[in-house]
Amino acid sequence: MKYFIRLSIILLIFISCKNEPFSLQRIEGKQLPIEAEIVADSVVNELISPFKKSVEAEMNLVLAYSPTDLYKDREKTETAIGNFMADLCYTRGNPVFKKRTNKNIDFVLLNFGGIRASIPQGNVTTGNAYELMPFENNMVVVELSYKKIQELLEYIARAGSAHPFSKHLQLQCKEKKILSAKINGKEFDENKTYFVLTSDYLQNGGNHMNFFKDPVSLVNLDYKIRTAIIDELDAIDTIYAKEDGRIRR
């Protein structure tokens, strides 16, 4: 199988007439095939070999054990891997937020598309964590008004995907509408604001989560979601994740 890399070959043709400035006349490009016959540079290989071995050793480091395969499923409204992701973000993020603000996060909301790989049954490595979350997204905490919370809940109800949220939120939906929404077993209070942990990508309107924009307050925890995953895996012996009915349709 041949692979190709697009190389931009720029032909600059300049015309000089008296004191007039040079100007670009044409840009051309073509594809050059990279084939198996191309021999690797031994000098370069020797140079990168120590770094390659170091990276491989780190990526293969076993952090925890998973009794079952954990994967996302578009046909479900809730997944074990999504619950695991949302709950660990709360576990890792809340102490940081509490230390900075003396307040607690109310719940976590992430996005279905942010889960980029499965967690296989067996040993779970650092490399698995990078596959699960390859992005450099930071955890942020937004303070939302009751009105914004209603927009958030309606978004979840309409969604066809299982957007992960933490166990602190309990929802019942029917025909893409909210029947019941509780936070830690209690009704939302229209006179209160709520602190929601999410990613900086979603806070900026990613996945059309525009309710995260222009919050009452915003705290960037300077803590990457991937780092939180690695920290959690390193702290536990075995992953216990399941669907627990936090959303019912």
Instruction: Write the pLDDT tens digit of every residue in 186-240.
Output: 999 999 999 999 999 999 999 999 999 999 999 999 999 999 999 999 999 999 9
Q: Please name the residue that has the structure tokens 């044409």.
A: 26
- pTM assigned to the model: 0.81
Residue 205 neighbours by CB under 8 Å, 6+ apart: 212, 213
Query: What secondary structure letter does DSSP report for 227?
Result: H
pLDDT at 11: 44
| Alpha helix ranges (H) inside 64-103 | 80-101
What is the spatial distance between Cα 121 and Cα 132, in angstroms, rounded to a whole number?
A: 14
Report how far Cα 58 is from the mean position of its chain's Cα atoms: 21
Task: Identify residue 175 by its one-letter amino acid code.
Answer: E
Phi, psi angles (nearest 5°) of residue 124: -110, 125
Phi, psi angles (nearest 5°) of residue 133: -135, 85
pLDDT at 34: 78
Task: Identify residue 210 by its one-letter amino acid code.
Answer: N
Residue 28: pLDDT above 80? yes
Residue 131 neighbours by CB under 8 Å, 6+ apart: 116, 117
User: Going by CATH, does the domain composed of 62-248 fall within 3.40.50.1380?
Assistant: no
